[in-house]
Amino acid sequence: MDAGGDNKSYDDINVTPMVDLYLVLLLIFIIMTTAGVQGVKVDLPKASKSPALEGPKSKAITVNNEGKIFLDTVPVTLPELEQKLSQHKAKFPDFPVVIRGDRLTHYQGVMDVLNVVGRLGLTKVGLATEASK
């Protein structure tokens, strides 16, 4: 009865092609869902080509452990500090100031800087500190 002489048993089902098909379908599903979530297309308004108005730039005043004063990174004296800050205030009336004092600095050096800032009427003043561990 055996025409080809093949006595193979067909009890096993080969699932490898079926797993491959599922993985391809999963990959297509992932690509299609992420492509659709990128956003809604809108027609954005055009901006003028003129430069944007410059906002107030903050100034950093540093008093090191020797009592020397730096405006940003430039060493200054107290009268120079007052002059430069008043010039900057003329351009930007409400700019922020950050005062950084070394922990070994005499307290009077920081107080002198705070007096200058107070005389100029600057209200946005911050004292830089390091977070405790």
Residues 6+ apart with CB under 8 A from 107: none
Residues 6+ apart with CB under 8 A from 94: 56, 123, 124
Supply 118's token pair: 């107070």
pLDDT at position 33, please?
75
pLDDT at position 50, please?
60
What domains can be seen in the chain, in order of their start residue? 59-127 (3.30.420.270)
- pTM to 2 decimal places: 0.55
Mean pLDDT by 10 residues, the chain (133 residues): 59 78 88 64 61 66 86 88 88 84 82 88 82 65
49-76 exposure pattern, b = at least 16 Cβ within 10 A, e = fewer: eeeeeeeeeebebbbeeeeebebeeeeb
pLDDT at position 36, please?
59
pLDDT at position 1, please?
52
